[in-house]
């Protein structure tokens, strides 16, 4: 984890430094505009990593954090354009084409095009949609008769990342999107919190109270429940908001299925001890529940084979954000067997959400922000 942050920090310093250096060269002989724009880039480039880590909670700090997060989303595209401009400049010198100073057109494109992309991506991220999946699960006659007239309806939220950038009104919007579907249970598959600074537990509880699912609100921790602060504090926030947390535990719901909630796979980097295997989690499951279908909540979809081996029929995950910003969806496609949506393989239905919120840049352009409605149709297993 430390190595990841060191490498990421170095990359951010390099990218912001290159952009600042390019602007300084491009805006020669422009008076005060050159230092003003370069200083703005330097401040925005430093604001998100520093303020996110330091936990500033004053209004100026929060708004500067948000501005830095927005710049972070633009930075990749600005850096790519700057790199192309430098390559073009090098080629022009090789071909003896005299450069123009200042390069107004190039500067406007370097700043303007990523700004347009950023605004469109922000709007895309701020307006979640409902994504619906209809699944057929084979089970015993008793369970299938119980749901003869209507399926089991699960509302699923992942990667809300509530904190200083995304606040409780986003959770209210998600609840309002789910309400018309009258879910039997709402499942929160990790990264509900982004940090503990300015988290409004009462507002979260009020949002959850807008829907009273008969089987309750259930949650598992994600990696950001660890990153945001002490894990016990994160779990306490979730519980006080009205969620029942399953952390390497199981619970039988409606006498129709076993819901197993896994600790996040990254937890050992913070706690020093690995999470339990599914076999260990289910070791004390009474024999009378052994034939019930097994549903698994696991924040990261990185253990699908383990779920298949344990006999799970449904696993709900998030974490991937489907890259969140182009072209990083190609990265998650190579990291995970199922980076997004529904994958049915060897009896396991894996459903991965792109997430309801965002991390870092409040933007999305590889997918829509979403809440899931998973309708499970139970059918008798053929003899």
Which residue segment(s) compose the domain that 28 sits in?
2-124
Whether 159 and 249 share a structural domain: yes
Whether 155 and 14 share a structural domain: no
CA-atom Rg of the chain in angstroms: 24
Final residue before a domain boundary, out of 90, 124, 158: 124
pLDDT tens profile 140-170: 777 777 877 889 999 999 999 999 999 999 9
Give yes or no for a contact between 319 and 190, defined as CB atoms under 8 angstroms apart.
yes
Q: What angle do CA 329, 333, 338 make, to 5 degrees?
A: 120
pTM for this prediction: 0.91
Looking at the DSSP assignment, which residues form a beta bridge with residue 312?
294
Whether 79 and 140 share a structural domain: no
Distance separating alpha carbons of residues 158 and 170, to the nearest angstrom: 12
Phi and psi at residue 134, to the nearest 5°: -110, 115
Whether 313 and 237 share a structural domain: yes
Distance separating alpha carbons of residues 358 and 375, to the nearest angstrom: 25
**Token duo for residue 96:** 């003896």
Whether 147 and 87 share a structural domain: no
pLDDT of residue 34: 86
pLDDT of residue 272: 83
Looking at the DSSP assignment, which residues form a beta bridge with residue 283?
none
pLDDT of residue 330: 95
Whether 93 and 219 share a structural domain: no
CATH code for position 198: 3.60.21.10
Distance separating alpha carbons of residues 132 and 136, to the nearest angstrom: 13
Cα torsion through 66, 67, 68, 73, rounded to 10? 90
Whether 62 and 192 share a structural domain: no
pLDDT tens profile 199-208: 999 999 999 9
283-289 long-range contacts, CB within 8 A, separation 24+: 285/250, 285/258, 289/252, 289/258
pLDDT of residue 98: 61
pLDDT at 348 over 80: yes
pLDDT at 291 over 80: yes
Distance separating alpha carbons of residues 76 and 16, to the nearest angstrom: 10
Give yes or no for a contact between 137 and 379, defined as CB atoms under 8 angstroms apart.
yes
Give yes or no for a contact between 329 and 339, defined as CB atoms under 8 angstroms apart.
yes
Distance separating alpha carbons of residues 308 and 118, to the nearest angstrom: 40
Number of domains within the chain: 2
Final residue before a domain boundary, out of 56, 89, 124: 124
Whether 180 and 289 share a structural domain: yes
Whether 111 and 176 share a structural domain: no
Q: State what percent of residues in the chain have pLDDT above 90.
A: 72
At 9, the pLDDT band (50, 70, 90 cuts) reads: confident
pLDDT of residue 283: 94
At 327, the pLDDT band (50, 70, 90 cuts) reads: very high
pLDDT at 3 over 70: no
Looking at the DSSP assignment, which residues form a beta bridge with residue 154?
185, 374
Which of 45-71 are b and which e, b meaning 16 or more Cβ less than 10 Å from the residue's Cβ? Answer: bebbbebbeebbeeeebbebbbbbbbb
Query: Which ranges of the chain does DSSP label H, i.e. alpha helix?
Result: 2-26, 33-54, 59-94, 104-126, 141-146, 168-178, 201-208, 223-227, 231-241, 268-271, 278-281, 304-309, 329-335
Whether 46 and 134 share a structural domain: no
pLDDT of residue 290: 85
pLDDT of residue 96: 64
pLDDT of residue 5: 64
Distance separating alpha carbons of residues 285 and 381, to the nearest angstrom: 22
pLDDT tens profile 68-110: 999 999 999 999 999 988 887 777 677 766 655 557 777 888 8
pLDDT tens profile 123-145: 999 999 999 999 999 887 777 77
Whether 111 and 137 share a structural domain: no
Distance separating alpha carbons of residues 332 and 264, to the nearest angstrom: 18
pLDDT tens profile 236-284: 999 999 999 999 999 999 989 999 999 999 998 888 889 999 999 999 9
Give yes or no for a contact between 155 and 186, defined as CB atoms under 8 angstroms apart.
yes
Final residue before a domain boundary, out of 86, 105, 124: 124
Distance separating alpha carbons of residues 116 and 128, to the nearest angstrom: 20
pLDDT at 1 over 60: no
Q: Are strands 152-157 and 129-139 parallel, antiparallel or unpaired?
A: unpaired
Q: Is 189 exposed, middle or buried (0-12, 13-18, 19+ CB in 10 A)?
A: buried
Provide the phi-psi class of 235: left if phi over 0, else alpha when psi is between -120 and 50, else beta: alpha
Beta carbons within 10 angstroms of residue 352's beta carbon: 27
Whether 233 and 311 share a structural domain: yes
| 169-185 average pLDDT score | 96
pLDDT tens profile 57-78: 889 999 999 999 999 999 999 9
Q: Mean pLDDT score of the chain, rounded to an integer?
A: 91
Phi and psi at residue 200, to the nearest 5°: -95, 95
pLDDT of residue 184: 97
pLDDT of residue 371: 98
**What DSSP character marks residue 262?**
P
| 2-7 average pLDDT score | 67
């Amino acid at each position: 984890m430390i190595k990841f942050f060191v490498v990421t920090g170095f990359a951010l310093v390099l990218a912001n430094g290159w952009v600042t250096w390019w602007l300084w060269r491009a805006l020669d002989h422009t008076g005060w505009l050159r230092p003003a724009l370069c200083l703005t880039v330097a401040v925005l480039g430093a604001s998100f990593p520093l303020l996110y880590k330091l936990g500033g909670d004053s209004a100026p700090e929060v708004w500067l954090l948000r501005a830095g997060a927005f710049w972070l989303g633009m930075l990749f595209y600005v850096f790519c354009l700057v790199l192309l401009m430098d390559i073009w400049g090098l080629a022009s010198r090789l071909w003896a084409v005299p450069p123009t100073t200042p390069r107004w057109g190039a500067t406007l494109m370097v700043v303007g095009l990523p700004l347009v992309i950023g605004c469109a991506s922000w709007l895309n991220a701020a307006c979640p949609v409902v994504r619906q999946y209809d699944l057929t699960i084979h089970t015993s006659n008793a369970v299938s008769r119980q749901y003869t007239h209507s399926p089991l309806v699960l509302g699923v939220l992942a990667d809300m990342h509530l904190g200083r950038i995304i606040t409780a009104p986003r959770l209210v919007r998600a609840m309002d999107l789910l309400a018309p579907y009258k879910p039997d249970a709402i499942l929160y598959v990790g990264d509900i919190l982004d940090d503990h600074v300015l988290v409004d537990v009462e507002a979260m509880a009020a949002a959850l109270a807008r829907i009273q699912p008969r089987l309750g609100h259930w949650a598992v921790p994600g990696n950001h429940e660890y990153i945001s602060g002490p894990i016990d504090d994160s779990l306490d926030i979730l519980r006080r908001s009205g969620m029942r947390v399953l952390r390497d535990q199981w619970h039988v719901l409606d006498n129709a299925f076993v819901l197993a909630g896994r600790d996040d796979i990254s937890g050992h980097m913070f706690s020093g001890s690995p999470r339990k295997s599914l076999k260990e989690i289910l070791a004390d499951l009474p024999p009378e529940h052994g034939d019930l279908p097994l549903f698994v909540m696991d924040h990261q979809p990185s253990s699908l084979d383990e779920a298949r081996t344990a006999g799970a029929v449904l696993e709900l995950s998030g974490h991937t954000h489907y890259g969140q910003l182009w072209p990083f969806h190609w990265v998650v496609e190579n990291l995970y067997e199922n980076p997004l949506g529904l994958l049915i393989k060897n009896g396991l239905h894996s459903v991965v959400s792109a997430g309801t919120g965002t991390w870092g840049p409040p933007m999305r352009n590889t997918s829509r922000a979403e809440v899931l409605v998973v309708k499970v149709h139970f059918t008798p297993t053929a003899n």
